């Protein structure tokens, strides 16, 4: 790309417009795929090896194992929306908005839990902070790439 912005009246057939849309599409794919892969890795860890995570959430025994596995399954369910967006972001913009809404709900919920956590639960607080940090960064990455795609589509229409 030449680096110069596209004039507002750039025809859709212009190679620069096509290139911009291709770059925006791949940016969405990469950002959503990154968050998806990390989420699924975390989900599988919780579901398949819950003992490795139970202590960080002050859980123990059979109830702790089952609760941790349940969190892993919930993570997997949450991520069922990502693959179609990754596959065809231009076609699934509504689903991308759903993914972003899910990310916002998760971030707000985690932040609320963290803010209401009583003192003396440092390991638990630290574990929640990791989710808040990752979900915040994921929201910024996916949100920025999605806005880039919407702008590119508008400019190329």
pLDDT in tens, 47-75: 999 999 999 999 999 999 999 999 999 99
pLDDT tens-digit series, residues 104-148: 999 999 999 999 999 999 999 999 999 999 999 999 999 999 999
Asked, for residue 38, whether it belongs to a domain, the answer is: yes
Would you say residue 52 lies in a domain? yes
Residue 35 within any structural domain of the chain: yes
> How far is it, in rounded angstroms, from Cα 4 to Cα 10?
12
131 falls within a domain = yes
Separation of alpha carbons 75 and 156, rounded Å: 36
Residue 1 lies in a domain: no
Residue 9: how many CB atoms within 10 A of its CB?
Answer: 6
Quote the pLDDT of residue 12.
Answer: 54
List the structure tokens of 9: 């009246």
Kindly state whether residue 27 falls inside one of the protein's structural domains. Answer: yes
pLDDT in the model for residue 16 = 80
* Domains held by the chain: number: 1
Asked whether residue 9 is assigned to any structural domain, the reply reads: no
Identify the domain containing residue 140 by its residue range: 15-156
Q: In whole angstroms, what is the distance from residue 9 CA to residue 70 CA?
A: 52
């Amino acid at each position: 790309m030449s680096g110069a912005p596209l004039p507002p009246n750039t025809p859709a057939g212009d190679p620069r417009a096509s290139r911009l849309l291709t770059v925006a599409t791949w940016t969405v794919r990469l950002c959503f795929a990154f968050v998806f892969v990390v989420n699924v890795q975390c989900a599988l860890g919780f579901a398949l090896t819950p003992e490795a995570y139970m202590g960080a959430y002050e859980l123990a025994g059979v109830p702790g194992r089952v609760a941790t596995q349940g969190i892993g399954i919930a993570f997997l369910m949450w991520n069922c929306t990502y693959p179609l967006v990754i596959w065809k972001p231009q076609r699934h913009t509504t689903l991308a908005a759903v993914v972003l809404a899910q990310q916002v709900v998760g971030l707000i919920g985690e932040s609320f839990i963290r803010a209401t956590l009583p003192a003396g639960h440092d390991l638990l607080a630290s574990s929640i902070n990791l989710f808040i940090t990752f979900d915040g960064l994921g929201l910024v990455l996916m949100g920025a790439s999605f806005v880039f795609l919407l702008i590119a589509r508008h400019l190329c229409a």
